[in-house]
Amino acid sequence: MSAIQAPTVAAQPRRRWKQRHLLLIPGLAVGVLASTLASQHGLGLLPLLVFGIVPHLSALLGIGQPHVRGQLAPRAVPLFNAMHHPAVPLAVVGLAAAGVLSPFWLVGALAWLAHIVVDWALGDGLRSADGFLLGPVGRMIGIGSPSVSVGRER
């Protein structure tokens, strides 16, 4: 009598949650708030889609430019960083909350801010002048040197 062995499956490394993944919670919460306000003000999906997608259109400036995997083409970096820094959407939220701007801008700025925070949670963010992701602290505040472990971080 021969024993039948079950096929062995090579153990794959488990994906580990990183501390940055906790940023998904506020990012999604801000997105839900933006959606709720859009509904309350009868704005529809337009500001959510426009302000949620437009920040990444800046990467299109790099099409056809030489770059390696994980690098944003250097000519797209200034606009990409401007669109992915939280200062502008926070200022717009403040102005709209004070009544200076219409609810359209409030909803749009919240969607934009949600986009930025979710990007941080997924390991994307501000870039150095040569197009590589900034280090963990720099990714949050916009300063620092390129991260050495960018490829392993995702």
CA distance 139 to 27: 16
Q: Note down pLDDT in tens along the chain; length 154 residues.
A: 556 666 666 666 677 777 777 888 889 999 999 999 999 999 999 999 999 999 889 888 888 888 888 888 889 999 999 999 999 999 999 999 999 999 999 999 999 999 999 988 887 888 888 888 886 645 454 444 444 444 434 3
Residue 48 DSSP SS3: helix
**Distance from CA of residue 124 to its chain's centroid?**
6
Q: Domains of the chain: which residue ranges? A: 19-153
Cβ neighbourhood burial of 109 (10 Å; 0-12, 13-18, 19+): buried
CA distance 26 to 61: 30
CA distance 37 to 14: 38
Give the list of residues 6+ apart from residue 132 with CB closer than 8 angstroms, or none: 70, 71, 72, 146, 147, 150
Whether the predicted model's global pTM rises above the 0.85 cut:
no
Q: Where are the alpha helices (DSSP H) in the chain?
A: 24-40, 46-57, 77-83, 87-97, 103-121, 136-141, 150-153
